Amino acid sequence: MPIRPEHIHDGPNSDPRRPPRRGTDDEPAPGGGDVIDPALASRLQFALTTIVHIIFPVMSMGLAPFLVYFTWKEVRTGEALYVRLRRFWTKIFAISFAVGTVTGLVLEFEFGTNFAAFSETVGALMGGPLAVEGMMAFMLEATFLGVFVFGRERVSDRFYFVSSVFVGLGTWLSAVWILIANSWMQTPRGFEMVTENGHPVVALTDPIAAYANPRFPWMFVHMQNAAVLSVALFMAGVAAYHIYRRRHLGVVDSGNYDAEFWRATLKVALVVLIVTAPFQVIHGDAYGRHVAETQPQKFAAMEAVWETDSYVPEYLIAFPTSVEDLTDPRAKELFGIGIPGGASWLASGGDASAEITGLNEFEESPPVAVVFWSFRAMVALGFWFVVLAFWSAYRWYSGELYDDRLLHKALMVSALAGVFTVELGWIVTEVGRQPWVIQGVMKTTAGVSPGLTGTDAALTLGGFAAVYLGLLTVYTYVIARIVRRGPKPPESDAESGRETSTIDPAPEVTDD
């Protein structure tokens, strides 16, 4: 169906009872006399809350497959090691789930408080996925999480394993419905614009085309693999921290060091890292071609291409040579390593002479510097994860996995790098789409709540910043405390009727 963006971002408001829409002929773009542009403040508020919130779903979605594996091994073998692994990492999962629920609910309310015009326009289409996410995925996860956390001694082994599967399934189904909604905003399909009370709204005409839009499978696979990769890095970093302190620093924590636990954690995490890191790079390469085909404006911003050109280079590593180059990468006055024709090759899938449409061909452009540098940092970290994976695999193969001090330090430094890379990816995804909130259909300024003032938006922005950063601080403190303490001693598992494992009686200090 033809998309007619003029219905949304510059059409007149014909209903005298309805407040004027921002960015239309009835009301100019906001900002005059306000402390801050309400549209800008609303965007900053949503960005802040999303940046903080995404940490918790990444942890829960990424941990879910590990917990299913640990539970399966526990039920199948009865080994105390897997009891400790399941118990320890379930603590972090449950805390992440709880905080993620609190911070995620607020995001949906922000659609009404800050982006009411957007909600009114797309409510018929967006309301379905968001409602199903709550009624199906969240309730499934929350119900079986109670069994998984508190019901080990109250249900059979088989049912307990099923509960772990449903917890993981619910976690991933939440991502399905959220990403369906977001991917539709990137590549809208299966709808038409109709007028209700003089106001253009989205009417769903083809649910399959809308919900199975071209972007969804790319986003889902990339996001879920990124979550598992991020948690694998976190687990490997935590395990490396404990092994490093014990083997290389000789730190003894009241005889509570569980060598078997941390070695098993490190190995499981590295197996997953070896699989997910290369896959993320390969999938990202194909994903980039999809973006070039469906959102050429975003791809041009990712590569800072202003003039339509062919044989465009791809900067693998780029550093600004001045402040101006940092804020205006289009000048290409950068110190970096680039592949001639690399960007054209990426956009076309193999043709280094392919033409890339420049940003000058579009009416408006996203903040190019933010997209350009975020994309480069994301790609650089992605390749670093591949290096880390193969480095770890080589040390494991050569029998030096627990002795390589430099590897342990690299794993510790990279423990949170996966989550940071996910943040960068979402910055590229969302900032690169601007000025559109729905690509080619509705501009972000047109979606802001009518009547919202800059003062109101600034107050809520400050309040949300304080609350969310406070929650993040508390979450970080609690998780850090759990990580530092480690699992309970194996003796505490004796009450479960399973065998216990031994603890290294003394530190293994080496000279390397």
The model's confidence at residue 250, banded by pLDDT at 50, 70 and 90, is low
Residue 379: what pLDDT? 93
CA 312 to mean position of chain CA atoms: 29
Residue 248: what pLDDT? 66
Least confident segment among 35-49, 142-156, 494-508 = 494-508
Rounded average pLDDT over 73-87 = 93
Helix and strand tally (H, E) in the chain? 17, 8
DSSP string, 17-32: TSPPPBTSSSBPPS-T
User: For residues 8 and 419, which has the higher predicted lDDT (pLDDT)?
Assistant: 419
DSSP lists the bridge partners of residue 438 as 442
Domain boundaries, the chain: 37-281+394-496
Residue 3: what pLDDT? 39
Residue 505: what pLDDT? 39
Residue 490: what pLDDT? 67
Q: Between 157-186 and 116-132, two packed helices, what is the crossing angle to 10 degrees?
A: 150
Where are the alpha helices (H) located in 398-453, listed in sequence order? 405-413, 417-431
pLDDT beyond 90 at 340: no
The model's confidence at residue 274, banded by pLDDT at 50, 70 and 90, is very high
Report the chain's mean pLDDT, rounded to a whole number.
Answer: 85
Rounded average pLDDT over 39-56 = 94
Q: Cα separation of 69 and 299, whole Å?
A: 38
Residue 137: what pLDDT? 78
Residue 252: what pLDDT? 61
Residue 276: what pLDDT? 97
Per DSSP, the three-state class of 309 is: strand
Rounded average pLDDT over 272-295 = 95
Whether the Cβ atoms of residue 63 and residue 92 lie closer than 8 Å to each other: yes
pLDDT beyond 50 at 19: no
Residue with token string 């009686």: 505
pLDDT beyond 60 at 25: no
Residue 330: what pLDDT? 62
Using one digit for the tens of pLDDT, what is the confidence trace for 133-164? 877 777 888 889 999 999 988 999 999 999 99
The model's confidence at residue 67, banded by pLDDT at 50, 70 and 90, is very high
The model's confidence at residue 246, banded by pLDDT at 50, 70 and 90, is confident
Residue 259: what pLDDT? 83
Percent helix / strand / coil, the chain, rounded to 5: 65, 5, 25
Residue 491: what pLDDT? 59
Residue with token string 């199903």: 132
pLDDT beyond 50 at 10: no
pLDDT beyond 50 at 500: no
The model's confidence at residue 503, banded by pLDDT at 50, 70 and 90, is very low
Token pair in block for residue 61: 């979605």
